[in-house]
Chains A and B, each alone.
Chain A
C-alpha cells in the first residue's frame, strides 16, 4: 500500500471517526449496567439456590462485554483492535485455567 493511499485512508477515516453512539444511548447503557449491578448485589440478600453462581458469572460476562463493546467502541472499531485485545484475554484465561487446574482448583470446587 502506498503512502498516498495510507494518507487517503486516514483522511477518509477522519470523516467517519465520530463513530459509536449518542450521549443519550451511552446513558441508557449505563442505566442497564447499573440495573445488572443491582441484580448482582441482590444475590447477597436473596437466595438464588443453584442459580447463584451461574447468575453472577453470566452477569459479569454481560457487563464486561457491554463496556468493551460500547464504551470502549470495540464493536464499531476496526477488527484488528478486537483481535489484539481478545487474544490477550483468551491467552490469559487459557493460561490461568491451566494454572488453576494444576492445583486441582476445579476439583475442589466440585
Chain B
C-alpha cells in the first residue's frame, strides 16, 4: 500500500539523490529556494506599491511608462517559458539536440528581454528618472533591477547548461538538471507576470 503510494510520487528521477521521502533532494531544495524568493520579491513589490505615488521631483509613473514596448517584452519572456518547457520535455526524451536548441532559444529570448529592460532604463534616465530622483524611482529600479539580475543569472545558467550538455559534463540525471534550471526560469517569468500587472498596467 505504502510502496504503491510512493510509486506514484513523481518527484524523483533516476540518478538523483533521493531523500527519506523518496523525493529528489535537489528538486526539494529548488522548491524551497523558490518559496523563499517569494519573500524577497514580495518585499520589493510591496515597497514599490507603497512608494509609487511618492514623487517629489522627476516624472510620474503614468507619464513615463511605455506600455506597448513593455507588453512586447512581457510577451517575449512569456514565450521563453514555452521554449524552456519544450527543452525540459526534450531532455526527458533524451533528445540532446533539441534540448540544446530550445535552451539556446530560451537564453536568446531572455537576452532580448534584458536588452529591452536596459533600453527602458536608459530612456527613463534620459527623461529625468534617476535612482535617487524620488522614492518612486528608487523602488522601481530596485524591483525591476533585481528581476533583471535574476533573468541574467538564468541566461548564464542556460548557456552553461548548453555547454556542459554538448561536452557530456552534466553529472547525474541530465533531465533533472534541465528541469531544475527550468523551474528557476519559470519563476522569473511568474514574477514578471505580477510586476507587469501591478507596476505597469495598474496606474498609481
Q: Contact residues of A with B, CB < 8 Å?
A: 1, 5-14, 16-20, 23, 26-27, 29-30, 33-34, 37, 40-41, 43-44, 53, 56-57, 59-60, 63-64, 67-68, 70-73, 76-78, 80-81, 84-89, 91-93, 95-96, 99-100, 103, 105
- Of the residues A11, A19, A40, A89, contact of B14 by C-beta under 8 Å: A11
Residues on A with beta carbons closer than 8 Å to the beta carbon of B14: 10-11, 14, 17
Q: How far is the CA of A47 from the CA of B68 in the complex (A)?
A: 16
Q: Contact residues of B with A, CB < 8 Å?
A: 2-3, 6-14, 16, 18, 20-23, 27-28, 31-32, 34-39, 41-43, 45-46, 49-50, 67-68, 71, 74-75, 78-79, 81-82, 84-86, 89, 92-93, 175, 179, 182-183, 186-187, 189-190, 193-194, 196-198, 201-202
Q: How far is the CA of A72 from the CA of B183 in the complex (A)?
A: 6
Residues on B with beta carbons closer than 8 Å to the beta carbon of A30: 78-79, 81-82
Residues on A with beta carbons closer than 8 Å to the beta carbon of B7: 9, 12-13, 16
Q: How far is the CA of A60 from the CA of B200 in the complex (A)?
A: 12
- Of the residues B2, B13, B38, B187, contact of A14 by C-beta under 8 Å: B13
Q: Would you give 28 A-B contacts (Cβ < 8 Å), ordered by A?
A: A6-B20, A7-B18, A9-B12, A10-B18, A10-B22, A11-B14, A12-B7, A13-B6, A13-B7, A17-B92, A26-B89, A30-B78, A41-B71, A44-B201, A56-B197, A57-B197, A64-B194, A67-B81, A71-B186, A77-B11, A78-B10, A80-B28, A81-B28, A84-B35, A88-B34, A96-B43, A96-B46, A103-B50
Decide: A92 near B42, CB < 8 A? Known: A100-B50, A105-B49. yes
- Of the residues A40, A63, A92, A103, contact of B39 by C-beta under 8 Å: A92
Residues on A with beta carbons closer than 8 Å to the beta carbon of B8: 16
Residues on A with beta carbons closer than 8 Å to the beta carbon of B75: 34, 37
For B17, give the chain A residue with the smallest CB separation. A10
Residues on B with beta carbons closer than 8 Å to the beta carbon of A92: 38-39, 41-43
Residues on A with beta carbons closer than 8 Å to the beta carbon of B6: 5, 9, 12-13
A69 to chain B, nearest CB (A): 11
For B11, give the chain A residue with the smallest CB separation. A78
Q: How far is the CA of A105 from the CA of B2 in the complex (A)?
A: 49
- Of the residues B12, B67, B197, contact of A59 by C-beta under 8 Å: B197
Decide: A56 near B202, CB < 8 A? Known: A9-B7, A67-B193. yes
Q: How far is the CA of A19 from the CA of B13 in the complex (A)?
A: 11
Instruction: Please indicate which of the listed interface residues A41, A64, A86 has the most CB atoms of chain B within 10 Å of its own CB.
Output: A41
A30 to chain B, nearest CB (A): 4
Q: How far is the CA of A5 from the CA of B79 in the complex (A)?
A: 41
Decide: A89 near B12, CB < 8 A? Known: A20-B89, A23-B86, A80-B23. no
